Structure 1
Amino acid sequence: MSTFALFWFEWESNKYISRMKVGTSEATALDFKIRGFDYLVALDGEGERSHYTGDGYSDGKQLARFLEDTIADMEYYVTIPFYFYQFGKKIPRDSVSGNFDGSYWQRWIDGVVDSAGNNLKGFYWSLEAPGQFTYGYGDGIVSRYLIEGISYYVRRDYGLDLIWIPSLGGRTISDLEKYTDIKHYHGYFDYVFCQPNYYQKQFMSDGAPYQYSNLLDVFQWIQSIDYPTVSIELEADRGVLGIRCLDNRDCPTGTSCDGSYCHENCRALNSVSCIDYACDYVNAQYDTLGKLWTNRAYYFSTNLKAIDTVRNRCPKW
């Protein structure tokens, strides 16, 4: 059984910084270890908060050095950043329809590997769109040759893992079958952790309420693909902390004052309901598999106190 925790960083004031906290203190690798995590996945979203110079090798090397100084006490995965910002718009870092050889992403991987230590476990393909290889992601379709090249290069040439965490976005089972590539492309990855987005979404893609029974259906669909390689991401955020507020100035960065509580992305505006939604991910595992998933990823925003709070209600989270 392996557990993967998301570790958030960003480029700020000409350097990388960790966004992870335990309360008000900066989180360390030990803080993740004592909470039972086996691996960290270092990411910034889909690439928008990673430094971009156009030189993939230099950019990858720079991030790897930061991670070696910050989290190298644990085995970790490094993002392959998809986007960068230019004139306020997200732009892919290289051609999505071209080949992998010689691309920005190949040079990025080389830069990371050349600067990382022995605890580099692999890479994380950061684009979350679940239908990117067939139906596109907003700006175009990601070439099969590109992801095939990344997969072979990371897994065969370097002997490392490649993981993906696609967002299901409340899609119905019918839409998951029709408009996602997970069933057909999961073989390019060592692990795929599907985001059910039940914690965030009030409604399914057909407009119906996203109920617990729908979460069970989604879990069963994920299980049917390739258990345990294709698995789930458990989801919570700082909305579970119950931080009271009068206005946005009372709330941590990235949250807002809504309904007298600091709110992030939870579908509810009170911490009790948010914790209940997070705990449903545990209940749904037992109701579908009869046990916890063998491999699990965890999203809990940027404060490990969110994990502690949820586990006070459901210890197996």
Structure 2
Amino acid sequence: MIDVHDLTKRYGSHVAVDRVTFHCPPATVTGFLGANGAGKSTVMRILVGLAMATSGSATIDGRRYRDIPDPATRIGILLDASAQHAGRTGREALAMSAFQLGLPRSRVDQVLAAVGLRPEESLRRIRGYSLGMRQRLGLAHALLGNPDVLILDEPANGLDPAGIRWMRDLLREYAADGGTVLLSSHLLAEVEAVADRFVLIGEGRILAQGTKDELLGDRRTFVRAAPQKPLTLALDEAGLTWTRHGDGLLIDTDAHRIWPLVPNGVVIEELRPASAAGLEDLFLRITAQTQRDTQRTGASA
């Protein structure tokens, strides 16, 4: 498990991380969400011993990374997929790491297969890899020691839709086997599809955290219909509250109450729980409020 408690990191007068606290339990994927520069990478670098905290703690299974024996066999890390020796082949890079960890060479073949790098691709020089291939190789390095914990920073960068779906399935299977995953991204929709819990960070501070249901508490339904006006009239007659949302409607009720109200001739193009699209809205709303609060504080200082 991962525990971050009251973590603060300052660079001179700049506070990069401000009293951050969250917990990642076993058998879960935790989405660590925030815009670029929000503090995600700083927290993760402190977790894996690449930066020192100004105050607070960041532990894995109750210990700091530096205090864990053979940490690469306990914790898999992918922070920067481009930080690999460009002159080596993918297989050579993994074989060298396996040798250093005392792992059998067969483990290299296992992780290459797990991340979908074909034998001919593994024999190519890393300098010739696409970004998506580097991401797969980086994840292979993270999985090499068969760790209990994965800490991944923006692992979906450069992956095509099929690659993103593959990574989603891999991480869900990993968590189902009891693993702990901390997954950082600014792509909220992608993380929303795989994560059990979410930690939203902005300007170095935790904005919100919890499961999707805890964060949204939303039983509304999103509906996209054509034409829209007959449906809104029917909703009004039924006494249901609705608001326009993008090219559709947010209706304050469950989906099963809406179907009987759909007038003849109205085509329902999309109908789903509002929470399926609500996390991004929540994040943008909270972030905007945080920025306004910061601006007011700065103006009054």
Q: TM-score, normalised by structure 1?
A: 0.30
Higher strand share goes to which structure?
A: 2
Q: TM-score, normalised by structure 2?
A: 0.31
| Structure with bigger RCO (C-alpha 8 Å, 6+ apart) | 2
Higher helix share goes to which structure?
A: 2
